[in-house]
Amino acid sequence: MTQLTDVSKPQVQSSPAHNPEAQNPQVQAEATRRRTFAVISHPDAGKSTLTEALLLHARAITSAGATHGKAGRRGTVSDWMAMEQARGISITSAAIQFEYRNSVINLVDTPGHADFSEDTFRVLSAVDAAVMLVDASKGLEVQTMKLFAVCKQRGIPVITVINKWDRPGSAALDLMDEIRTRTGLVPTPLTWPVGIAGDFRGVIERSTDEFIRFTRTAGGATTADSERISAAVAATEEGDAWVAAAEESELLAEEDQNHDQARFLAGETTPVLFSAAVLNFGVQHILDTLVDFAPAAEAREDAGGGHRAVSSEFSGFVFKVQSGMNSSHRDYVAFVRVCSGQFRRGMIVTHAASGRPFATKYAQHLFGKEREVADEAWPGDIVGLVNASALRVGDTIFEGDAVTFPPLPIFAPEHFRVVRPADTSKHKQFRRGIDQLDHEGVIQVMRSELRGDQAPVLGAVGPMQFEVVEERMTHDFGAAIRMEALPYQLARRTDKESALILGHDRQVEVLMRTDGTLLALFSTPWRLRNTERDHPEILLEDLAAGAPTP
C-alpha cells in the first residue's frame, strides 16, 4: 500500500472561525450555488465517459465521444494529454466548470491509474463531495477502495454510481450488500434498475415510484430520451421486470435504506444511482443528485485547527501545478481552490509560505485544457493562475487575516531511476524540464554530490510516472532523456549525522530531495533491517509516520 509523508511548512496564525466584519451575503449566496466534486474509480470503470455524459446533459458540450472518437465527434474533454488520448486512460487531473439548473458545477477529473494516486489525493483535498463509480460486473475494485478510504478519512460525502448496467453484471441487491460490507456505508438507492444487468430498460425513481424509461441514441453521442411512466402503466408494459424491481425497492424501504440527508453528510450512508454512461442512461439523475444533495462550499479547517468562514476575505490553496496545457504559449497553470471570499482578477494577495504579496493578473476558468478569463470566482470554484511561478503544490494565498491551510502530503517513492540528457548539448533544456516537473509534483527529484547535477535520481509511486516524464521532457522541453533503473525498493528519512555512517554501505544511497529532506534508499527490506540492527543510533524514519495512507 502506498504511503505518504507530510511536508512541514511555516504556519501563520489561523483566522477566527467567525469574523462579523468579514461577512458578505453575496459571497455566501454564491458559495451556496457551488457544487465541487471529483469522480473516483478503478481504471476502466468509465470515468472519462461519465464526465462527458455529465457535460452533455448539462449542455456544456453538444456531442460526446470516447477518447478514440469516431470521425466528427469530439474527443474526451478531460483527457487532453496525448498519452491519455493514445491509451484511453486519465493520467492527469483536469478542472471543468459548467452550470446546471441554478448551480455552478466544478468537476475535477482525477487520474484513474494507481500510479498517479498522489495527484488524485491532491484533487480530493480540493473537493466537497465525490462520485464513486462502480463497474456493475466488477464491484468495488482495489483502486476504488483506496480512494474511498481517502474520502472517508477527509470526511468527504460519497455518492455511488453503478455504471455499465447495459452489460451483464452482478445482481443489484448483491452490489448493495458489497457496498455495505466493504465500505461500512448504508447504501440508499435513489433509483433502482428495471431489468437485470445487460437488459437496462430504465429505473424506478424511488421518491415518486415512477418508471423512467430510457431510449437509446446512435452511439450515445447525444442525450438519451427518457419518459416518465406511472407504476400502473409500467407494470403492464414491463411485466415481470417491473414486478421484480418494485419488490426489491420495497425490500430496501423495509430495511430503512432510504435517503436521509443528515446521515449522508455525516458519512453514514451513500446515495446510489444506476447508469450506463456510454448510452447516457441515468446521467440526468446524477446531475440532479449533485445539485439537490451534495454539500456546497463550507468553512474550511486551517493548519491551526480553526475554520475560515466562506464569507470571510479571500483565501485559497494550490492543489496542482501543470505546464504544457497550451502548446502555443508554453505556460503553466497553478490550480487554486477558492476557500473563502471573492476572488477578483488583478487582486493582490499574500503568499503564506513567503509572506510576500502576489499579483493575480492572469486568472482563468478552465474547461479541460480550454480556458477563458476569470474576472471573479467564489468559494468552491477552481481558478487557474497562469505563470504563477512562485506557487507550489500545497501553498496558501489569502487576503486580509492571515491563514494557512494544512499542507498536502508527499507520497513515499517506491521506484527509482537515474536520468540523464540523451544529448549533452541540451543541458539547459534538461535542467529546466526536470526542475519544472519537480515543481509540478509530477516526480520527486533527488540529487547528490557524487552523481552531480547532470544525473539526478527520480522517485515515483508507480512506473508509469517515468513514462510521463519521458514524454514531456521530449515534447514539452525538447530534451530527450535516458533513464536507468536503480536497485532500490524503499526510502527512509535520515539526517546529516546518520548519512555519514550510511555512506559506507554499498547497498544504501543517501540523496537530498528538492525540499531539503535527506532520503536513505535501501535495496531490500532485509538490508534496511540489518542496517537498523547494526546501527541503532542512526535516524531512519518511516516517511509515512503520522501521515494518512490511501
Could you report the per-residue pLDDT of 228-277, keeping only the tens digit for each?
Answer: 999 999 999 999 999 999 999 999 999 999 999 999 999 999 999 999 99
Which grid cell sits at 309? 468562514
pLDDT bucket at 408, cuts 50 / 70 / 90: confident
Asked whether residue 22 is domain-assigned, the answer is no
Asked if pLDDT for residue 211 goes beyond 60, the answer is: yes
Taking CA 76 as the corner, what is the angle to CA 73 and CA 82, rounded to the nearest 5 degrees? 110
- Per-residue model confidence (pLDDT) at position 113: 60
| Averaged confidence pLDDT in the chain | 85
**6-53 per-position pLDDT tens digit:** 333 334 333 333 443 345 889 999 999 999 999 999 888 888 889 888
Cβ atoms < 10 Å from Cβ of 116: 23
Binding residues: 109-113
Cβ atoms < 10 Å from Cβ of 500: 11
- Per-residue model confidence (pLDDT) at position 201: 93
Which grid cell sits at 195? 431489468
Domain count, the chain: 3
Asked whether residue 104 is domain-assigned, the answer is no
Boundary (domain end) residue, out of 368, 398, 428: 398
Query: Would you give the distance in Å from CA 359 to the centre of its chain?
Result: 27
DSSP-derived secondary structure letter, 412: P
Asked if pLDDT for residue 173 goes beyond 70, the answer is: yes
Asked whether residue 405 is domain-assigned, the answer is no
**Mean pLDDT calculated for residue range 421-439:** 92
Boundary (domain end) residue, out of 293, 315, 340: 293
Binding residues for GTP: 109-113
pLDDT bucket at 283, cuts 50 / 70 / 90: very high
The answer to whether residues 181 and 52 belong to one domain is yes
Boundary (domain end) residue, out of 372, 398, 424: 398
The answer to whether residues 283 and 309 belong to one domain is no
The span from the CA of 92 to the CA of 112, in Å, is 9
The answer to whether residues 341 and 444 belong to one domain is no
More confident residue, 113 or 187: 187
Contacts of 522 (CB under 8 A, 6+ apart): 488, 489, 490, 491, 492, 507, 508, 528, 531
CATH of the domain at 241: 3.40.50.300
The answer to whether residues 47 and 180 belong to one domain is yes
Q: Which residue is it, cell 517515468?
A: 466
Structural domain harbouring 332: 300-398
- Per-residue model confidence (pLDDT) at position 364: 85
Asked whether residue 32 is domain-assigned, the answer is no
Query: Would you give the distance in Å from CA 469 to the centre of its chain?
Result: 20
The answer to whether residues 460 and 337 belong to one domain is no
**80-113 per-position pLDDT tens digit:** 345 444 444 443 446 888 999 999 999 987 775 6
The answer to whether residues 304 and 282 belong to one domain is no
Asked whether residue 382 is domain-assigned, the answer is yes
Asked whether residue 64 is domain-assigned, the answer is yes
- Per-residue model confidence (pLDDT) at position 19: 43
Quick check: helix, strand or coil at residue 44?
Answer: coil
Nearest by Cα to 515 from 409, 385, 356, 358: 409
Asked whether residue 101 is domain-assigned, the answer is no
The answer to whether residues 90 and 234 belong to one domain is yes
The answer to whether residues 120 and 229 belong to one domain is yes
pLDDT bucket at 219, cuts 50 / 70 / 90: low
**485-509 per-position pLDDT tens digit:** 999 999 999 999 999 999 888 889 9
DSSP-derived secondary structure letter, 504: T
- Least trusted range by pLDDT, from 227-236, 402-411, 429-438: 402-411
The answer to whether residues 315 and 287 belong to one domain is no
The answer to whether residues 285 and 309 belong to one domain is no
CATH of the domain at 429: 3.30.70.3280
The answer to whether residues 158 and 245 belong to one domain is yes
- Per-residue model confidence (pLDDT) at position 415: 94
Asked if pLDDT for residue 404 goes beyond 60, the answer is: yes
Q: Are 436 and 322 in contact (CB under 8 A)?
A: no
The answer to whether residues 283 and 304 belong to one domain is no
pLDDT above 70 covers a percentage of the chain that reads 84
- Per-residue model confidence (pLDDT) at position 410: 78
The predicted model scores a pTM of: 0.81
Asked whether residue 5 is domain-assigned, the answer is no
